[in-house]
Amino acid sequence: MSVAARSDPAPARAASHAPFTVLPPSAAPPLSRHLLGAPVRPGPASESAVVQRPTYLRLAPGGEEVADVEPYTEFGSPRVFAVVGRRGRWLAVLATELPNATVGWIPASRAAVVADAYKIDVSVSRRLLTVYRNGRVAHELPVAVGGDSTPTPIGRFATTDKLLTTGPSPYGCCVLALNGHQSRLAPGWTGGNRLAIHATLQPGTIGEAASLGCLRVGAADARWLVTTIPLGTLVEIRS
């Protein structure tokens, strides 16, 4: 079944077509513990950097400044980066401000680095999303992926915002926003280019190549994701 042109991808700004409310940390116990820095047994996945003070994003350690970094995202969520490398006093991170497959750098002194026990792996060909916790499968769920002309981008991404919709929305109940971007937008699409994992008003499309690039899941699965997955969690999307 085809999808209406305004169903994907997730909006780039809070003031776009679908209104959102940031999921408060108190509504997501794993995120609350994550941000408070309580011990979390690390799996093979990653570390996350919770931005504590304003800083700059650079293309290399000590290199050119390419973007301001504030402690909160444009949606108002805590700014949490997935850490994908280190060099001395610098952290390599995945950031919304950069193109897909590009790594940015921030000074470690501006962030609190914490363990993230979760990782998400998505197989586009199988249309399957797998959540790992401490290296073990915690949840598997079917997804809708991008159609032929608007394929879901392949690569390494990270979660940036956990959002609840307010009122009727093509994104269903909730959105787990990612730092990545859709480079092959549908003609006439004006809703931004951010990628996301989100619910849908068209559950019959789940398991199909039907979206404009985002990953669609069922409402119950979307609620589980936004109340379980920490910000800054790695999301590996494979063919």
Same fold, 20-25+118-238 and 40-116: no
Which whole-number Å values give the CA distances from 19 to 14, 93, 173, in the listed order? 7, 28, 11
In 3-state terms, what secondary structure has residue 207? coil
Instruction: Give the model's pLDDT for residue 191.
Output: 64
CB count within 10 Å of CB 200 equals 26
Peptide bond into 9 cis (omega under 30): yes
Give the model confidence (pLDDT) of 9-48 as tens digits. 333 333 333 466 776 543 333 333 333 333 333 345 589 9
Domain at 40-116, CATH from 2.30.30.40, 3.40.50.970, 1.10.10.10, 1.10.8.60: 2.30.30.40
Instruction: Give the model's pLDDT for residue 182.
Output: 86
Q: Environment class of residue 217 by beta-carbon count within 10 Å: exposed (0-12), middle (13-18) or buried (19+)? A: buried
- Residue partners of 189: CB distance under 8 A and separation at least 6: 5, 6, 212
Give the model confidence (pLDDT) of 187-236 as tens digits. 766 566 799 999 999 999 999 999 888 999 999 999 999 999 999 999 99
Instruction: Give the model's pLDDT for residue 185.
Output: 66
Residue 142 scores a pLDDT above 70? yes
Domain ranges of the chain: 20-25+118-238, 40-116
Instruction: Give the model's pLDDT for residue 21.
Output: 74
Residue pointed to by tokens 């920490």? 230
- pTM (2 decimals)? 0.82
Give the model confidence (pLDDT) of 32-91 as tens digits. 333 333 333 334 558 999 999 999 999 999 999 999 999 999 999 999 999 999 999 999
Domain 20-25+118-238 -> CATH class: mainly beta
First to last CA, the chain: 22
Residue 136 scores a pLDDT above 90? yes
At 51, list the tokens.
């931005």
At 209, list the tokens.
């190549």
Instruction: Give the model's pLDDT for residue 179.
Output: 97
At 110, list the tokens.
């501006």
- Residue partners of 36: CB distance under 8 A and separation at least 6: none
In 3-state terms, what secondary structure has residue 163? strand
